[in-house]
Structure 1
């Protein structure tokens, strides 16, 4: 397999920031991992697994080996009258996979259309949008352990999914490459339209009869309108998680900020839109040099051209501090920082 040295990562991160990998290797099959990593030289170097670079901010070079996940393939491995199981390579583009499912009338991921990134990154982040999380359709995750050089199989329960969280971000952070994901999808759709923005979009479209294609199209319309295209403006989508706070704390904040929106999580917890908090602090549309906050979505930090990762990170820290000073809520980054 080709092994590049002093390799530019600018085109491999959607922020489009300059960074360099000491070594870079595209991985197209599991056997290449075993063959490459057996060398002693990698034992003393950092290893970074990279998908499509849509959830990472490089603030420095990678003085080690970047493993680019390019393992592809979509295969039906099991099927019943009601369900289908698909084994999908971790290097597959997520949106193309969603469109494959919609085109074949496999239900479960249509609300997750146009989320940037790879299939292998989806369970790591437990991606979610418009009332659906990927944990609802993941049946199994197969990953290569970078240190023990063995394939590990994780059931859905093993993945310890949480809000934008999983065992892959915690116990196994930086230790695995997800090579395949098995999805369990339905042949009989149950449409998820509880999310207000999605209902409103369907109403604007004049939809009378729902279908997977219509749900998918509505989601694409919303995301295209609200979020910047990384091919035009460097960004990694939502930079921060929506914070979850106790009902008691929410009650106290509501007395000071009557317009504070929330979504119930359970009997004790509510979710607050991070974008609202950031906008209230005056950051929406803010720009400093080429680092800024998107004018249409305060949750998205952007690179207008030549911003460095450090500049974007410093801006994010100022935003976090201002939100904390005003609301007593410390925002948590959704984007990984290297």
Structure 2
């Protein structure tokens, strides 16, 4: 393991902001990760665990050690007549893994295609899209306990999964995800195609009897049409969580906006798209210097070239304040702010 000093983080996060880490290292095995953590402790440095860099906004240089997890590998744990368990290392690219599962004839992740980031980040955020969340297929999460250096498998029921939430997010800093074991289906079964956008994309593809591969391609088409490629326009995907409000709040909004898009979760809670709220607040497509809101998806903040992290954070705060004034809703960040 090599410790580098004064390292630009621009290539390592999808906003592409020019910020530097005081010290930086990449780890490819658990022993190196432990070594890096011990080094940070001895030097009394704060540290930050970095995966694909698709869910972080650096507002300033990082005055500590950035540890990039680059562990690789997939291992079949067990299988039966209908399912198979695969343990996947945290540093594996998420989208590549999803497409690999389809190539192998394993199903359950097709709706989560083209989500940026790594496998290790997936359970932390409980990533989800188009009616599927990663919790639906997570069997166990292998973690390193930062305090004791013990390695343990946390079973699904102990992960406390919620909407873009988990025990790993709530107890931030206690665990580092090392690997995730997924229970995948050997046959496609019932595909999740309830979302209108997915149905429309499949119709555009002229698919009459969709396969899991078709659903994945439909999701890819949707994402590519709505979301900017970080390689050409810096962004972190969804910057805000879609808020969940009680029915009374929803009905109040619906009186003014009869066509407000929504998804009823149960008898008391309704999810409203944050992108719609931001668009109604007047921010869609707006640009403030090089910090802006994407013109196709208002949920996405973008770096048009030389925006600073602070400028993007200030824009995000202005959006939150306007949505709060207009709708009485507090938008929560989906990205990590440093």
Is TM (by shorter chain) over 0.5? yes
- Distance change in 2, residues 1:332/1:41 (3 Å): closer
Aligned to 1:182: 181
| TM-superposed deviation, 1:146 | 2.5
SS in 2 for 1:225: helix
Q: Within 5 Å, which residues of 2 pair with 1:21-40?
A: 21-39=21-39
- Distance change in 2, residues 1:163/1:42 (3 Å): farther
Please state if 1:148 is matched with 2:156: no
Distance 1:199 1:107 in 2: 19
- Distance change in 2, residues 1:40/1:93 (3 Å): closer
Are the equivalent residues in 2 in contact too, given 1:198–1:219 (CA < 8 A)?
A: yes
- Distance change in 2, residues 1:145/1:278 (3 Å): same
Q: Deviations over 1:68-90 (max 9, x none)?
A: 01010011111111111001000
Aligned to 2:331: 331
Q: Within 5 Å, which residues of 2 pair with 1:205-244?
A: 205-244=205-244
| TM-superposed deviation, 1:261 | 1.7
SS in 2 for 1:198: helix
Q: Deviations over 1:135-180 (max 9, x none)?
A: 0000000111233222132111111000001111102x12322111
SS in 1 for 2:124: helix
Aligned residues: 337
Please state if 1:303 is matched with 2:279: no
Give ranges in structure 1 of 5+ residues lacking alignment: none
Q: Within 5 Å, which residues of 2 pair with 1:96-245?
A: 96-171=96-171, 173-189=172-188, 190-245=190-245
Aligned to 1:49: 49
Aligned to 2:287: 287
Are the equivalent residues in 1 in contact too, given 2:111–2:129 (CA < 8 A)?
A: yes
Q: Deviations over 1:282-324 (max 9, x none)?
A: 1010001100000111000000000000000000000111111
Bigger shift: residues 17-26 or 307-316: 17-26
Are the equivalent residues in 2 in contact too, given 1:42–1:65 (CA < 8 A)?
A: no
* TM-score, normalised via structure 1 length: 0.97
Bigger shift: residues 189-198 or 131-140: 189-198
Distance 2:51 2:39 in 1: 23
Give ranges in structure 2 of 5+ residues lacking alignment: none
Aligned to 1:88: 88
* TM-score, normalised via structure 2 length: 0.97
Are the equivalent residues in 2 in contact too, given 1:142–1:178 (CA < 8 A)?
A: yes
| TM-superposed deviation, 1:211 | 1.2
